[in-house]
């Protein structure tokens, strides 16, 4: 019998659904009439025989080098399948009982199907050249392709089981996770005392990176106060270029940037508020003296003020022109002018050891204060910070924090009644 003459395993199962127990009919033809009258579910053994016959007929046996594999069993299975098919053609299509045989899905039917598949697998398997076993449910034996799909069709039960053995997963490469930018963990608002040394840390930028990349820090050049700060790229420490003065500027804004080693960056705005420090601290015990008056009570006659007799707070009203000289200035003496006064500092025009302080009133009034002999020979003075540092060094001042800068020049209320130096 040729391959073209035999129906496929699925066709056999579908056609067998119109008759009862095709395996029994093929084995015992004399019972055909009885089985046609009563439809019975196919047993596991019958399903196994049908699947085995279809499996053996579909794929040729593989011959080994030692001995050919006998084909008798396959031929018998094929003949059996053909007999079932021929017998089915003879069934009475009008037999309602045969056509409408109830589907037996009772407990155990599913187990019968899988038993049939297992039996077909056992009947189908044969060793190859290297000892491999060829499975009825798929794979290859000795290089020859076998069934990619094993199908068991039990039409009499109204049940079809189709198993696809092509279950090898395709291992697709996992997409690499996206490298993300750092995340800032540092605060955005800080306070800082005025007149604090420029070496002090104002703010420390900190950030984390989920990918573990190295982070460097910088300040955005478009920041409002970019020029007022420096930043350490590794530690994120931010410092003022010059010590801040509340009376000059009471707040600053800068934008810090954190960049990881992959080039991802994030920015954060930081607001720095300058605290106004009472720069008259320590002076209240001194005697207030207006520089706008001389010892003789006349206004601005140029007579020098003597500070060696005690601690004094010398006040000066910018709206009143003055040209005063202070002798014997020492630790404990101060100069006080109104808030908002723009003041300039420098060394003496006639004596480099003198300190000159100049400022103007709202209407252009000129004020000059000369403090005699409070600077060393090589002192460099160009603003309040350098002046206080130079005077403190010359006078041997030592603050509570160990600094040598003497904060003698202060801003505040000069309207408090003053005493006159006797």
Q: Which residues pair with 240 in a beta bridge?
A: 229
pTM above 0.85, yes or no: no
Q: Where does CATH 2.60.40.60 sit in the chain?
A: 183-275
pLDDT of residue 81: 61
Task: Going residue by residue through the chain, which has 422 residues, state the pLDDT in tens, using 9 for 90 and above.
Answer: 444 444 544 444 444 444 444 444 444 444 444 444 444 555 556 655 665 665 555 445 444 444 444 455 556 656 666 665 566 666 655 554 545 544 444 444 555 556 655 655 565 555 544 444 444 444 444 433 334 344 444 444 444 444 444 555 566 777 878 899 999 999 999 999 998 888 899 999 999 999 999 999 999 999 999 999 999 999 999 999 999 988 889 999 999 999 999 999 999 999 999 998 765 444 445 788 888 875 444 555 567 888 988 889 999 999 988 888 999 999 989 999 998 899 999 999 899 999 999 999 999 999 999 999 999 999 999 999 999 999 999 999 987 777 889 999 988 888 765 443 33
Q: Which residues contact 333 (CB under 8 A, 6 or more apart)?
A: 286, 307, 311, 312, 313, 314, 326, 408
CATH 3.90.1150.10 assigned to domain 183-275? The reply is: no
Q: What tokens were used for 269?
A: 């705005």
pLDDT of residue 203: 96
pLDDT of residue 271: 96
* Torsion angle in degrees (nearest 10) through CA of 327, 329, 333, 339: 70
Q: Torsion-angle region of residue 92: left (phi > 0), alpha (psi -120 to 50) or beta?
A: beta
Q: Is 22 helix (H, G, I), strand (E, B) or coil?
A: helix
The packing angle between helices 9-16 and 72-89, to 10°, is 40
Instruction: Give 373-401 as a DSSP string.
Output: S-S-TT---SSHHHHHHHHHHHHT---TT
* Helical (H) or strand (E) element with 56: helix 44-58
* Helical (H) or strand (E) element with 193: strand 189-193
Cβ neighbours, 10 Å, residue 296: 7
Q: What tokens were used for 194?
A: 């005025």
């Amino acid at each position: 019998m040729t391959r073209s003459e035999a129906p496929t395993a699925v066709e056999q199962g579908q056609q067998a659904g119109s008759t009862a127990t095709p395996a029994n009919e093929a084995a015992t033809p004399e019972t055909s009439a009885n089985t046609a009258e009563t439809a019975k579910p196919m047993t596991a053994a019958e399903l196994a025989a049908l699947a085995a016959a279809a499996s053996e007929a579909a794929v040729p046996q593989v011959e080994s080098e030692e001995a050919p594999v006998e084909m008798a069993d396959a031929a018998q299975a094929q003949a059996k399948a053909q007999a079932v098919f021929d017998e089915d053609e003879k069934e009475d299509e009008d037999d309602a009982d045969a056509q409408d045989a109830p589907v037996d899905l009772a407990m155990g039917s599913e187990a019968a199907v899988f038993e049939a598949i297992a039996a077909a697998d056992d009947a189908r398997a044969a060793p190859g050249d290297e000892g491999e076993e060829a499975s009825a449910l798929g794979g290859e034996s000795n290089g020859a392709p076998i069934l990619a799909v094993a199908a068991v069709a039990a039409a009499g039960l109204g049940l079809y089981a189709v198993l696809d053995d092509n279950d090898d997963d395709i291992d697709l490469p996992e997409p690499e996770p996206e490298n993300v930018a750092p995340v800032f963990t540092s605060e955005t608002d800080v306070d800082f005392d005025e007149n604090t040394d420029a070496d002090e840390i104002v703010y420390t930028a900190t950030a984390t990176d989920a990918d573990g990349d190295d982070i460097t820090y910088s300040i955005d050049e478009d920041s409002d106060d970019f020029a007022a700060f420096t930043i350490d790229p590794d530690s994120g420490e931010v410092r003022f270029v010059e010590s801040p003065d509340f009376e000059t500027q009471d707040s600053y804004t800068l934008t810090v940037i954190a960049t990881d080693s992959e080039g991802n960056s994030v920015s954060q705005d930081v607001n720095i508020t300058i605290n106004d420090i009472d720069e008259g601290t320590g002076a209240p015990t001194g005697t207030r003296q207006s520089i706008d008056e001389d010892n003789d009570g006349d206004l601005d006659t140029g007579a020098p003020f003597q500070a060696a007799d005690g601690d004094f707070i010398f006040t000066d009203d910018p709206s009143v022109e003055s040209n005063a000289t202070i002798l014997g200035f020492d630790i404990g003496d101060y100069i006080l002018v109104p808030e908002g006064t723009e003041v300039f500092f420098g060394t003496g025009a006639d004596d480099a050891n003198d300190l000159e302080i100049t400022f103007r009133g709202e209407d252009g009034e000129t004020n000059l204060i000369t403090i005699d002999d409070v600077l060393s020979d090589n002192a460099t003075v160009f603003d309040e910070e350098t002046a206080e540092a130079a005077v403190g060094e010359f006078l041997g001042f030592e603050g509570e924090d160990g600094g040598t800068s003497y904060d003698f020049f202060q801003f505040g209320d000069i309207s408090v009644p003053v005493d006159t130096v006797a």
